[in-house]
């Protein structure tokens, strides 16, 4: 005769197992070891010292160019407080990062489909600094971001301008950093400023410079060389060259139409140059090259940098 106490206990255990199994499976999935050469989402933060130099438009159009080349791209608008990637795409997000942080929605539910297969994570204008998140909120966010690894080849992160904690941390966490500058001396000085902080905080960072709104290739080369020289001489830090985009009035018109330049005016000088940059600099396979590459490494560093909350180890 079976024990009347044990039986309900057994079924209770079985029931609980059934209930938690999907979650256990998801967490094991998230922690499965990655093989060298496996596909990962390359994380690229686009930043600048000075504001208004073209970061958001560059992120949007890079994403389109990569999407047109059949790469899966997710844009994360990390310009918390002044998030506006949605404006460049002419979309009105109903949900944003705040909903994930508050635990009312999953990241899947807030992903907005954009053109060319791009997906967009709208920044939450209700959050000013990720550093202000509670440990529970940070854990929720990082746990959700982990699942992007399988959904994208590139995670492009648009940040705000200036050398504040949010910006620097997103730079330090990414596989690659693109620092955007214009030829103006103020923008150049600020670009040097952010490169200095990055080089001192994480000397292994990979930084490339994109000169935007150049009047000529010669002007862009001059700016690139100046930045490379001062970074080498004063910081002992290598700065790579991503290229330049010309000053192009079509960019202004595209912004006014809330349509990314590559779709608004595909044959314009800036659109043509941007496609050239993508085919020159983004042709390599996106695979595991180092243990801490991709979303996994990104979250691990982000967790360390923002402290508390995350469980990305
Ligand atoms: N290559 C270009 N040629 C002409 N105008 C440009 C070019 N790139 C950007 N712009 C202009 O610069 C403006 C600012 O661009 P954008 O919003 O992308 O800058 P940002 O760096 O993201 O600014 P913020 O620091 O405020 O986030 C755009 O509205 C556009 O009109
Ligand atoms: Mg911007």
pLDDT of residue 138: 79
Q: How far is CA 267 from the centre of its chain?
A: 27
pLDDT of residue 29: 45
| Mean pLDDT rounded to a whole number for the chain | 84
Cα 261 to averaged position of ligand 2 atoms, centre (Å): 15
Q: Is residue 190 part of a domain?
A: yes
Domain residues for the domain of 14 are 1-32
Enumerate residues 6+ apart whose C-beta is below 8 A from 255.
57, 88
* Average pLDDT rounded to a whole number, residues 89-113: 91
Same domain, yes or no, for 18 and 80?
no
pLDDT band at residue 309 using 50, 70 and 90 as cut-offs: very low
Same domain, yes or no, for 42 and 28?
no
**pLDDT tens string 176-232:** 999 999 999 999 999 999 999 999 999 999 999 999 999 999 999 999 999 999 999
Same domain, yes or no, for 27 and 133?
no
pLDDT of residue 16: 53
DSSP structure class, residue 246: E
pLDDT of residue 150: 85
Residue that has been written with the tokens 């560059």 in this structure: 58
Q: Cα torsion for 24, 27, 32, 37, to the nearest 10°?
A: 140
Q: Is residue 313 part of a domain?
A: no
Q: Does 190 sit in the ligand 1 pocket, CB within 6 Å? A: no
Q: Does 156 sit in the ligand 1 pocket, CB within 6 Å? A: no
Q: Does 47 sit in the ligand 1 pocket, CB within 6 Å? A: no
Q: Is residue 242 part of a domain?
A: yes
Q: Is residue 311 part of a domain?
A: no
For position 215, which CATH number holds?
A: 3.40.50.300
Protein residue with least CA distance to atom 15, ligand 1: 54
Same domain, yes or no, for 96 and 1?
no
Q: Is residue 312 part of a domain?
A: no
Same domain, yes or no, for 5 and 153?
no
Tell me how crowded residue 87 is: count the other CB atoms within 10 A of its CB: 13
Q: Is residue 97 part of a domain?
A: yes
Same domain, yes or no, for 66 and 102?
yes
User: For ligand 1, what atom is nearest to the CA of residue 160?
Assistant: 27
Contact 64, 222 (CB under 8 A): no
Same domain, yes or no, for 189 and 134?
yes
Report how far residue 273's alpha carbon sits from residue 244's, in angstroms, rounded to the nearest whole number: 8
Count of domains observed in the chain:
2
**pLDDT tens string 124-167:** 766 666 667 777 887 888 888 888 888 999 999 999 888 888 78
pLDDT of residue 267: 96
**What HEC string does 190-228 produce?**
HHHHHHHHHHHHCCCCCEEEEEEEECCHHHHHHHHHHHH
pLDDT of residue 15: 60
Report how far residue 98's alpha carbon sits from residue 80's, in angstroms, rounded to the nearest whole number: 10
Report how far residue 84's alpha carbon sits from residue 188's, in angstroms, rounded to the nearest whole number: 24
* Average pLDDT rounded to a whole number, residues 281-301: 72
Tokens of 150: 């399988």
- Residue 172 predicted with pLDDT over 70: yes
Q: Does 56 sit in the ligand 1 pocket, CB within 6 Å? A: yes
Cα 113 to averaged position of ligand 1 atoms, centre (Å): 23
Cα 213 to averaged position of ligand 1 atoms, centre (Å): 9
């Amino acid at each position: 005769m079976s024990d009347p106490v044990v039986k309900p206990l057994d079924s209770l255990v079985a029931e609980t197992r059934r209930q938690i199994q999907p979650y256990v499976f998801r967490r094991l999935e998230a922690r499965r070891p990655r093989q060298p050469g496996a596909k990962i989402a390359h994380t690229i933060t686009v930043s600048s010292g000075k504001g208004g130099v073209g970061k958001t438009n560059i992120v949007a159009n890079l994403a389109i160019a990569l999407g047109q080349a059949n790469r899966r791209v997710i844009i994360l608008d990390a310009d918390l407080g002044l998030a506006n990637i949605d404006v460049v795409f002419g979309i009105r997000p109903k949900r944003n990062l705040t909903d994930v942080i508050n635990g009312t929605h999953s990241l899947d539910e807030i992903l907005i489909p954009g053109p060319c297969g791009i997906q967009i994570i709208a920044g939450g204008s209700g959050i000013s600094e990720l550093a202000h998140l509670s440990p529970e909120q940070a854990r929720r966010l990082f746990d959700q971001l982990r699942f992007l690894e399988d959904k994208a080849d590139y995670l492009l992160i648009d940040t705000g301008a200036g050398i504040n904690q949010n910006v620097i941390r997103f730079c330090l966490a990414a596989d690659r950093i693109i620092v955007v500058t214009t030829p103006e001396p103020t923008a150049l000085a600020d670009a040097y400023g952010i490169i200095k902080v990055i080089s001192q905080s994480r000397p292994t960072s990979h930084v490339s410079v994109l000169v935007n709104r150049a009047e000529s290739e010669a002007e862009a080369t001059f700016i690139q060389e100046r930045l490379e020289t001062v970074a080498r001489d004063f910081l002992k830090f290598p700065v790579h060259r991503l290229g330049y985009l010309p000053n192009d009035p079509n960019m202004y018109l595209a912004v006014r139409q809330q349509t990314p330049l590559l779709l608004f005016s595909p044959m314009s000088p800036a659109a043509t140059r941007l496609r050239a940059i993508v085919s020159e600099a983004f042709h390599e396979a996106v695979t595991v090259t180092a243990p801490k590459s991709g979303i996994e490494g990104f979250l691990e560093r982000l967790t360390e940098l923002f402290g508390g909350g995350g469980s990305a180890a």
